[in-house]
Chain A
Amino acid sequence: MKAQSALEFVAEARTGRIDLEENTHKILDKVFASEKYNFFNSVSKDLALHQAKELNAKVKSGKASGKLFGLPVSVKDCICVKGIESRAGSRILSGYLPVFDATVIAKAKAEGAIIIGKTSQDEFGFGTFSANAGLGFKVPKNPLDFERACGGSSGGSAGMTAFADFPHVSISESTGGSIACPASFCGVAGFTPTYGLVSRYGLIDYANSLDKIGSMGKTVSESSLLLEAIAGHDEKDSTSLNEKISFSPAKSPSAKGMKIGVIKEFFGQGINSGVSRIAWDSIKKLEKEGAKIREISLPLNAKYAIPAYYIIAMAESSTNLAKYCGMRYGAHESLSGSFNEYFSKVRSCNFGEEAKRRILLGTFARMSGFRDAYYLRAMKARTRLINEFKTAFKDFDVLVNPTMPVPAPKFSEIEKLSPIQQYAMDLCTVPANLAGLPHISINAGLLQKMPVGIMFTAGHLQEERLVQAASALEALK
């Protein structure tokens, strides 16, 4: 029997035919049974059951409404949920219980979402495989192969989305590819919106000019359902856009007449040939349906996006992480020594290795004498890279490439990669993220039983085109 989709579930839940307390109990049992996969840093059992009870009461009083009514929603650990320990996968935030909901959580709750827990991730989002878990945290395992990674940094979100045999969606977050990459490795749909379309208020920041909260679901329509529910202007976020756009899944998805640019550089050197072939197979299917396919070259993005992105991301993260000092929330030590000694003690024993590496590199890139050579130069390069995309979108509706150069690697393979080799794996996802462009990754097929993702990118605020192209491809499977 085909599993019920999130949209079908919500429609049925609103009629009262589903007892939401009973359903939520069942789902929490499955969440606890999935423990060996480490998808969750914490499970919000009491909150979920309390919400389910309230929603049941709404049904009884004839007030059942909301785009996510009764739907189980998991949330990446870096997004604040009131009263639920929120640590962004870092020991330095141990015990932190937010006294407010992030705007996306308030919106999701208002639409009837049931929050089931906080999903595992790389510490503060610092990684491509979710293998850089903070001290004392566990690394999520790929539900399709226990020896392989879920991808990062929203690894727990993608793993749970693939694992769940019940209607479920996940609120995730991307800085340089942290939604698309794990979506690709786990074979689900990951939707990253235009920078500023979804409020960042209540997000535990990684890099402010790059962070975007987005969504995951098993399908394009599930991920767009969630994204539509959490998007919108928010005066609490000074970078929030005041734009209304449509995510409505096309009734009859068709790529006919769509101009699709195939990014040449992301099919060549450094990309697994099997991955390239699977992505090309999908593109040919779209062409057969009437899409106009042409190759395009983005040489500047292929060459400079990785260094520009990492310099900016590390510089911004090193300032964001400066606030963690063991005084107001999170990990505390006994107060001793001068403030410098105390802050250094708390930070040195609670940040993990990759967090320290990025803090050091980011601090270096902002220091007097180096700032112009690194940070400012990266910001200027970013302008040039955005302009390269803008020129491309004069000729194309969407651009397409394999999401990741490889299928999910084994943990034993990841251990052998140096930091710079790991950063290079983000080749295909970083450019769109650096330019703040919306993108979606969906499954294109399997390579040796592991999923291969294909990624569509559109111009700023052109999410509807992504839904159109990705739904069209999904319908052809």
Chain B
Amino acid sequence: MAGIKVDKDLLQRVAANARLNLTDAEIKKFLPQMHDILDAFSRLDEPADLNEEPSFQPVPLKNVFRGDKAGKCLSQEEALSNTKHSKNGYFKGPKVVE
């Protein structure tokens, strides 16, 4: 990973993926910082024989199943109580198709 260079194009591609519009001032600030941070992280390149199983959790987990019974969940009113954009009992979102 040490060889990966983050340039303006890559940063903007990442930002678009993350749904962030960056200003020119932000790009100017973030670019060298990302370079420094990734450079420091490249220390993880060192162990050549890193063949362990990845630990996606720090403590081993077991699958747990519950009975197929309906439980209590939020009412429609509760679910919509925090939105400013609702219509006819639904969330109202921005346009998907022009």
Contacts and interface: CB of A to CB of B under 8 A. Distances in A.
> Main SS of the interface on chain B?
loop
Interface in B59-98: 59, 61, 64, 66, 74, 78-79, 81-85, 91-96, 98
B57 A239 contact: yes
B10 to A, nearest CB: 8
Contacts, number: 178
B41 A419 contact: no
Contacts of B37: 310, 361, 419-420, 423
Interface stretch (A25-33, A116-124, A330-338): A330-338
A146 B98 CA distance: 54
A384 B20 CA distance: 35
Contacts of B19: 322, 325, 340, 343-344, 347
B30 A360 contact: yes
A95 B82 contact: yes
Interface string A367-392: 10010011011111111101100000
A382 B96 contact: no
Contacts of B38: 361
Contact of B55 (A100, A342, A379): A379
Interface residues of B, number: 55
> Main SS of the interface on chain A?
helix
Contact of B81 (A99, A239, A418): A99
A307 B57 contact: no
Nearest to B43: A307
Contact of A327 (B11, B40, B50, B83): B83
A95 to B, nearest CB: 7
A332 B57 CA distance: 34
A336 B94 CA distance: 6
Give chain A's interface residue range (CB within 8 Å of chain B): 35 or more
A330 B85 CA distance: 11
A383 B54 CA distance: 6
Nearest to B97: A338
A357 B55 contact: no
Interface of A: 95-97, 99-100, 194-196, 209-210, 235, 238-239, 241, 303-304, 306-308, 310-311, 318, 322, 325, 327-330, 332, 335-345, 347-348, 351, 356-357, 359-361, 363-364, 367, 370, 373-374, 376-384, 386-387, 418-420, 423, 434-437, 460
Closest 9 CB pairs of A and B: A436-B58, A379-B54, A329-B82, A342-B94, A383-B52, A373-B1, A307-B41, A363-B18, A99-B78
Interface of B: 1, 4, 6, 10-11, 14-15, 17-22, 26, 30, 33-34, 36-38, 40-44, 46-47, 50-59, 61, 64, 66, 74, 78-79, 81-85, 91-96, 98
Given A332-B84, A339-B95, 15 more contacts: A307-B42, A307-B43, A318-B18, A325-B19, A328-B91, A337-B95, A339-B96, A343-B19, A344-B21, A357-B33, A377-B1, A377-B44, A378-B44, A381-B52, A420-B33
